[in-house]
Structure 1
Amino acid sequence: MEKRRNRPASGIIVKTDASCIIDGTAHPGIPTVVWPEGIDEVASDYLRYLVISTGAQSSSAYEYAKILRIFLRFCREKSRRWDSVDDQFLTVWREHMRRAKRNETQRINTSLLAVFGFYRWAEETSRIRFHVGIYDALDAPADSPPRKFPISATKYFVKSKRGRVYGGFTTRLTLRISRSSQGNKHTPTEEESRRIHALAMDRRHGERNTLMYSWAEETGLRRAEILRVRLSSLPTYDQIDELTEEDASWRIVLRRKRGGTWFVNVPADLIQRTLEWVEFGRREIVARCRAKFIAYQDPDFVFISSTTGMPLHPDSVTTLTRRDFAAAGVAKASLHRFRAKYCIDVIETLLDSIFDQHPLQELHSGWAETILVKAAEMMGHTSAISLKPYLNYVFNRKIRLADATKERKLNLDIRHLEQRRVQLMKEVDRLSELTKETSSSTKRTRTSRHGKPKAAKSSK
C-alpha cells in the first residue's frame, strides 16, 4: 500500500496498490484513513463504497478522505465520538473552519457537504439509526409527533434534461454565498501572466512549473488533466518539424475525471517546449532518482516530482502556483484561472469569427448558444451553460472597447468638463459677489461705530 506523508498522530491516508482485488478486479488508489491505534474502519468503508459502488475516481475519493480526516481529527481533539455528532457540534466545526482556519465559504460548504454525505451513508447502512433526518414525513405514522434528529437534513429536488425529477437530502448548515462574493476570482491579464511566468522561471525547476502553467493557459486543461499527460502521447522531433511547417497542432487523448476521454489539440510550440523539458530537465531528475532509489522505474508521465521521481501530486502544484501568483502580486487567482483565461480567449476568437462574417443585426437568435456549444466542445466542458459568464464578460469588454463606445465616452467627458467649467465660473462669480458684499458691510459697520468722519483742521 502507498502511504502519504503526514504526522502519525494526526492520522495518515494510505492508498491501496494493484494487489487490492475486489470481486476479481484490481482497485489501486482507494484511500484508507489510519490513526496511531489502527485503521478507521467506518471512514475507510465509506471511501471504499465511493469507489466501488458509486464509481467515483480514486482521486475524488482521496479528496473526500482528506476532508474526513480533518473532521475526525477535530472530533478526537474534542473527545467526541463520531456517532454522537449533532448539528451543534457540526456548527462548532464550521465556525472553527471559518474563524480559526480562515477557510473560504465555498471550501467550508464543500467540507460540510462531504461530512454530511458520510453520515447519510452511515444512516442508510444502519451504522447509526435515526440519527440523520433523511426520512420523509410520509414515512412516519400520522399520529406520531414530529421527530428531531441530531443531524438535520432538508430535501431538495432536481429536474433532469429529460424532465425526470430526482429528490435527495442535504445539510442545512452550509453558509450562504452572497452574490457579491460569487465570481470574485481574478483572471490574470496578459501582463500579469508574463510576470507570473518570469518569476516562476527564476526559481528551482522553473522550466517545469512554467511549462505546466502554459499547458493550462494554452490548452485549457485542468490541474489533474495536466498531470495525466504521458510521455507516450508526445510526438517525435520529426513529427514536430512537420507540425511546425504546416502550422498545425498535435492531438492527444486524455482520461477525464469521470472516466471519459477528451481529444486535446496542443500547439506545436508548446509540444516543442515539452520535448525540450523531457530531454533535459526531466532527464536530470530521472538520473538522480535512479542513483538514489533502488529499482526506480521512470513513470510514463511528463510532470514528475524532483524529490521522488514519481508523478507530481496535485497538492504540490497548488502550493507552487499559490507561491508564484502571490509573488507576482496576483490575488484571488490560481492555476485554474489560467484555464479561465484560455476560455476567454476561445470565446473571444469565436465571437470575432462570427462578427467578421455577419453584422450583429443580421445574426440569428441562437448565435450565443452556437458560441457556447463550440467553446464547450473545445474545452471539454459537459455543459455549455457553465461558460455563459465568460461570454458575457467578453461581450461586455468588447462593448467597452468598441469605437462607438469610445466616442460616446469622449463626448460624455467633454460634456462633463463643459458643465464643470460652467459650475466653476458660477462659483467664481458667486465668490466675487460675496467678496463685494463683505467689503461693503465692513465699511458700513465702521461708519455706524465712529459716526461721520471729522473734517480736517485748516491751517492758519
Structure 2
Amino acid sequence: MRMFWEHLSNEGRDWKDVDDDFLRDFRNLQRSGVRISHKQKGEELFEGTINGRLMTILAFYWWCHKNGKVREDMIGPSRWEEEGHFRPQIVLDVKGYDPRSDSPYKDLKYSSPLLYKNIRAPKRTIPTEDQTSKMQAKLSSFRDQIMSQWTEQTGLRAFEICKIKVEDVPSFDDIDALEDADNHHKFLLKGKGRKERFIYVQSDLLTSTREYIE
C-alpha cells in the first residue's frame, strides 16, 4: 500500500478517483520493470508478486466500500440492469463475505480482470551443501551463523527464529542425552499466520544455540 500511495502522489491522482485503467497501468509498469516508488529496484517483477500487491489494493478498496468510505458504486461486479450494463470504476467480484461473521474479511476470494491468470511458479535453485557452507563462512557473527543453520535445518523464517525462547532449547545434559539416543528435540512454535507446528532440531544445532545463549 505504501508503494501504491507513493504512485498516486507521483501521478497526482486522488485515491477515490482510481479505476481499472489506472490500476492496469500500475500493474504494467511493475511488469516492465519501471520504478513506481523509491524503494523498488527497477527490475521486472514476477506476476505472482504483482498479483499479491493488486490483491492488497483491491481488498483495501473493498473494505472502504463496505464501510462507507467511498461511493457505493465505486467497486463491485459488472452487472446488467434494466437500463443496461453497469460497470463500476473498479470491477471486482468477492465471494465469502459474511457480515454476521466475527471475521467477515477473512479468507475472501477475489476475482478481477486485472489479476494475472495461470501464473507459472518461478524456478528456484536450491543451494548445494558446499554453497551453504561457503555462505555461512562469510557470515561475520556467531549469531548470524546460527540463524543460517536454523533456516537450513528447519526451514524457519528469520522472524520465526527470533520467536524461539530460551526454554525451547534444552540444557547441555539434555542435548547429550538426545545425541546418545540419536534423537531429535521437538517443540511447538507459532509461525506465519499464527499457525502452530512442531519443529524438530538435531543435537549439533542445539549445542551451537545453547553455546550462544550461554
Which TM-score bucket, shorter chain as reference? 0.7 to 0.9
Q: Highest Rg: 1 or 2?
A: 1
2:211 matched residue in structure 1: 276
Q: 1:226, CA displacement in angstroms?
A: 1.9
Q: 1:168, CA displacement in angstroms?
A: 4.3
Q: Secondary structure at the match of 2:201?
A: strand
TM-score between both structures, scaled by the size of structure 2? 0.79
Decide whether the 8 Å contact of 2:150 with 2:156 is kept in 1: yes
Decide whether the 8 Å contact of 2:47 with 2:119 is kept in 1: no
Say which of 51, 57, 61 aligns to 1:115.
57
Say which of 84, 96, 111 aligns to 1:170.
111
- 121-130 vs 95-104, greater mean Cα deviation: 95-104
Decide whether the 8 Å contact of 1:97 with 1:108 is kept in 2: yes
Provide the rounded CA distance (Å) in 1 between the counterparts of 2:111 and 2:162.
33
**Residue 133 in structure 1 maps to residue 67 in structure 2:** no
Say which of 193, 196, 201 aligns to 2:132.
193
**Residue 106 in structure 1 maps to residue 39 in structure 2:** no
Partner amino acid for 2:114? L
Q: Secondary structure at the match of 1:263?
A: strand
1:365-409 deviations in Å (ceiling 9; x for gaps): xxxxxxxxxxxxxxxxxxxxxxxxxxxxxxxxxxxxxxxxxxxxx
Q: Secondary structure at the match of 2:188?
A: strand
2:100 matched residue in structure 1: none
Indicate the percent of aligned positions where both proteins have the same amino acid. 26
Q: 1:69, CA displacement in angstroms?
A: 1.5
Mapping for residues 75-114 of structure 1, pairs under 5 Å:
75-98=8-31, 99-100=33-34, 101-102=42-43, 103-114=45-56
Partner amino acid for 2:176? D
Decide whether the 8 Å contact of 1:249 with 1:265 is kept in 2: yes
1:55 matched residue in structure 2: none
Q: 1:191, CA displacement in angstroms?
A: 2.3
Q: 1:215, CA displacement in angstroms?
A: 1.0
Provide the rounded CA distance (Å) in 1 between the counterparts of 2:137 and 2:53.
35
Q: Secondary structure at the match of 1:258?
A: helix
Q: Secondary structure at the match of 2:76?
A: coil
User: Greater RCO between the two (CA within 8 Å, min separation 6)?
Assistant: 2
Say which of 161, 168, 183 aligns to 1:248.
183
Q: 1:253, CA displacement in angstroms?
A: 1.5
What is the aligned residue count? 194
Unaligned runs of 5+ in 1: 1-67, 158-165, 280-460
Decide whether the 8 Å contact of 1:113 with 1:170 is kept in 2: no
Q: 1:155, CA displacement in angstroms?
A: 6.3
Partner amino acid for 1:78? E
Q: 1:171, CA displacement in angstroms?
A: 2.3
Provide the rounded CA distance (Å) in 2 between the counterparts of 1:73 and 1:176.
27
Q: Secondary structure at the match of 1:193?
A: helix
Q: 1:156, CA displacement in angstroms?
A: 7.2
Give the alignment's Cα RMSD to 1 decimal: 2.5
1:147-195 deviations in Å (ceiling 9; x for gaps): 12111225679xxxxxxxx98432221234654xx24111112222222
Q: Secondary structure at the match of 1:174?
A: coil
Q: Secondary structure at the match of 2:194?
A: coil
Classify 1:109/1:196 alpha carbon distance in 2 versus 1 (closer, same or farther; 3 Å).
same
**Residue 214 in structure 1 maps to residue 149 in structure 2:** yes
TM-score between both structures, scaled by the size of structure 1? 0.39
**Residue 259 in structure 1 maps to residue 194 in structure 2:** yes
